[in-house]
Structure 1
Amino acid sequence: MPGKLAARYRRRAPGEPRAVGYLYILPALAVFGVFLLWPLGQTGWLSLLHWDGLTRATWAGWDNYRDLLTDPELRAPFAHAAVLLLFYAALPAALGLVLTAALTRFRIRGMTFFRTVLFLPQVLAMVVVGVAWRSILAPDGLLNDTLRAVGLDALARSWLGDDSWALPAVGAIGTWVETGLCLVLFLAGAQRIPRELYEAARIDGAGPVREFFTVTLPGLRAEVAVALTLTLVAALRNFDLVYITTSGGPGNATSVPAYEVYRRAFETGEVGAASAMGITLTAVIFALTMVVTRLVEGRNR
C-alpha cells in the first residue's frame, strides 16, 4: 500500500496541488459564469417559450428551433451569413496570403506605412466604417460619381438599395475591413520563417508559386488558423455594419442572424424566436471555430 501511494505522488506534476490551481482561476471563472454562462442559460430558457417581452409567456418547447428549419424568413439570415463568410474570411485570408507571399519575396520600401494603412480599418469603430461606406455607395456617392466620370454610367447603381448587389456590397466592406488584419498576422508570422528555407527552395529552382506552397504557407499555418477564427466570428456576429448601412434591406436581402435577433426581440416582440436564433448562432460559431482549430492541430501533429 505505501508503495502505491508513493507511485501516485510521483506521477503528480511538481508544485502545488491541482486544487490550489483551481482556486487561482476561481475569480475569473466566477465573472465568466455571471456575465456569460448565466445569460446564455437564460437565453436558452427563453428560446423554449413563446413570449413578446410584456405579457405572460407560454411554453413552446422546440417549436422555435423547428421554425428555424422550416421558415424561409428565419433560414434566410443564415444563408446570408454563409455568403458573408466568403467576403469576411475566405477572401481576406486569400488576399493576405498573396500580399504576404509578394512582400516576403520582394523588398518594398515603406513597409511600416503600408501595413499601417491596411490595418487602419481595424482601429476604426464599425459605426464610422458603416457611415463612411454608406456615403460612398449612395446613388450620388463617390463610387457612382467616379464611374460616371470615366464613362461607365451603365455600372452606376444604388449599391445598397439593389436586391442583387446589397449583400455583395456589404461583403465588400467586410473584405476591406478584414484584409488588413489578415495581412498583419501573416506578415508577423512570415518573419519567424527561417530565411534559409527560402534560399534552399530557390537553389532547388522553386518559382514564386512553389515557394509559397512549400515554405510560406506551411510556416503560416498557425496564423491562418487565428485569422480564420477571428474573421469567421466577425462575419457571423455582424450586426452594426448591417444596421448602419442597410438595416437588413432592401426587404430582407441583407438580414443576418445577429440583426434578426435584434429585430425580432425589440421590434416585433418575438423574444422566444430571437433567443432560439441567438442560441443557434452561438452553436454555429462554436462549431466552426472548433473545426478550424482541429484542422490546424491535426496537421501540426
Structure 2
Amino acid sequence: MTVTPPPRRLPGRRPAGAARGWLLLLPALGAYVGFVVWPLGMGVQYSFYDWNGVGQATWVGLENYVTVFSDPELRGAIGNAFVLLLFFTVIPVGTGLVLATLIRSLRSGAFSRASQTILFLPQVVPLAAAGIAWSWMYAQTGAVNEVLSAVGLGGLTRPWLADYDTALPAVGLIGSWVLTGLCTVLLLTGISKIDRSLYEAARIDGAGWWREFFTITLPGLRQEIAVLVTLSVIAALSTFDIIYTSTQGGPGRSTLVPGISIYRIGFTQSDVGLASAFGIVLMVLVIACILPIQRLARAGER
C-alpha cells in the first residue's frame, strides 16, 4: 500500500485557523489595551509630573513617589489598608471554611440550599448600599447598640463609626460580612469535588472531624483558598465604596485608605501627578501581595 506523505507547509505561512483566532481576539485585545494598558501607561507618565489636570505639566521626576512614602497621612492610609486585610481575608476565609464544612455535613435539602442563599445574599448587595446600611446600624441609636442593650451589654454601646478606636474594625467587619458568603459558597463547591472515598477511608482508620479537616478538606481546597485570598487581598487594598459611604476616611484619618486618598488628591486637591504616583504604588503593593500567594498555590500542586 502506498502511503501519501502529508502536504508540506510553506515556511513563514500560518494556518488559516490561527489567523481567524487572532481576528476573534482583536476586539477583546483592543478593549484591554484601550481601557487597561493605555490608562496605566498614562498614569505612569503623569506620576512624574506636577500637574493639576488642566494647566501646564512640570517634570518633577521621582518627587511624587518620595511624597507618597514620606507623607505620614499617605503612609497611614497604606497601614490602614493592611489592617483591613485581617477583616477582608482572614475572617471571611476562616469563617467560610467552618461554614462550608458544617453545611457539607448536613444532608442536601431545603435547609442546606436556603443557608447557602442567605449567606451569599450580601455578595449581591452593592458595596455602597452596604456601607450606608451598616452606617445606620452602627449609629448611636442603631441596631447594633439596641441589640447590645437588649442582652445586657449597654456599657459597650457607642457610635462605632465615630470612635477613633472602633471605626476601622467596624468598617472591616462590613467587608467580612460581604465576603463571607462568597467564601462559603466557593469553598462548599470545592469540597463537593473532593472524593468521598477519602473521607470514608479516614473514618475507617478512626479519624475524627479535625483529622479529616486538616488532612483531606484543607489540602483539597488549596486552589479555592488561593483564589479567595487573591480576591480578598485586592478588595482590602483597593477598597473605596464601603469607606466612602460609611466614614469617608474619618473620624480624622482613622479609616483613611489609599482609594480615598487617591480620590481626594486627584479630584479635591487637583494634584493629578501625586494621585497617579499613589495609584502606581498601590498597584505594585497589590501585585507584591498576590504573587507569593499564586506561587505557593502552584508549589502545592507539585
- Answer yes or no: same fold by TM over 0.5: yes
**Pairing 1:10-159 to 2, within 5 Å after superposition:** 21-107=21-107, 110-159=111-160
Aligned-partner residue type, residue 97 of structure 2: L
Q: Deviations over 1:153-212 (max 9, x none)?
A: 210011001111000000000000000000000001111111100010111111111100
8 Å CA contact 2:46, 2:276 repeated in 1? yes
Residue 229, structure 1, aligned to residue 226, structure 2:
no
Aligned-partner residue type, residue 92 of structure 2: P
Aligned-partner residue type, residue 201 of structure 1: A
Structure 1 residue aligned with 2:3: none
Equivalent-residue separation in structure 2 for 1:162 and 1:254 (angstroms) = 11
Q: Deviations over 1:108-153 (max 9, x none)?
A: 7511100000000111111111111010001111111222233322
Structure 1 residue aligned with 2:197: 196
Shift of residue 219 of structure 1?
1.0
Shift of residue 17 of structure 1?
7.0
Shift of residue 21 of structure 1?
4.1
Structure 1 residue aligned with 2:299: 298
Shift of residue 18 of structure 1?
5.4
Shift of residue 249 of structure 1?
0.3
Residue 171, structure 1, aligned to residue 172, structure 2:
yes
Distance 1:282 1:132, change over 3 A: same
Structure 2 residue aligned with 1:3: none
Aligned-partner residue type, residue 274 of structure 1: A
Aligned-partner residue type, residue 81 of structure 2: A
Structure 2 residue aligned with 1:185: 186
Distance 1:167 1:38, change over 3 A: same
Aligned-partner residue type, residue 121 of structure 1: P
Runs of 5+ unmatched residues, structure 1: 1-5
Equivalent-residue separation in structure 1 for 2:144 and 2:293 (angstroms) = 36
Shift of residue 22 of structure 1?
3.7
Shift of residue 91 of structure 1?
1.0
Shift of residue 106 of structure 1?
4.2
Aligned-partner residue type, residue 42 of structure 1: M
Shift of residue 19 of structure 1?
6.0
8 Å CA contact 2:106, 2:112 repeated in 1? no
User: Which stretch shows the higher mean deviation, 244-253 or 102-111?
Assistant: 102-111
Aligned-partner residue type, residue 27 of structure 2: P
Q: Secondary structure at the match of 1:175?
A: helix
Equivalent-residue separation in structure 1 for 2:27 and 2:54 (angstroms) = 35
Q: Secondary structure at the match of 1:160?
A: helix
Equivalent-residue separation in structure 1 for 2:264 and 2:197 (angstroms) = 55
Identity %: 47
User: Which stretch shows the higher mean deviation, 202-211 or 149-158?
Assistant: 149-158
Count of matched residue pairs: 291
User: Which stretch shows the higher mean deviation, 14-23 or 257-266?
Assistant: 14-23
Equivalent-residue separation in structure 1 for 2:268 and 2:247 (angstroms) = 16
Residue 160, structure 1, aligned to residue 161, structure 2:
yes
Equivalent-residue separation in structure 2 for 1:288 and 1:21 (angstroms) = 34
Q: Secondary structure at the match of 1:87?
A: helix
Equivalent-residue separation in structure 2 for 1:53 and 1:164 (angstroms) = 37
Structure 2 residue aligned with 1:273: 274
Aligned-partner residue type, residue 192 of structure 1: K
Equivalent-residue separation in structure 2 for 1:21 and 1:108 (angstroms) = 43
Structure 1 residue aligned with 2:253: 252
Output the TM-score relative to the length of structure 1.
0.91
Q: Secondary structure at the match of 1:78?
A: helix
Distance 1:19 1:288, change over 3 A: farther
8 Å CA contact 2:190, 2:220 repeated in 1? yes
Output the TM-score relative to the length of structure 2.
0.91
User: Which stretch shows the higher mean deviation, 278-287 or 167-176?
Assistant: 278-287
Equivalent-residue separation in structure 1 for 2:18 and 2:234 (angstroms) = 33
Aligned-partner residue type, residue 287 of structure 1: A
Distance 1:27 1:108, change over 3 A: closer
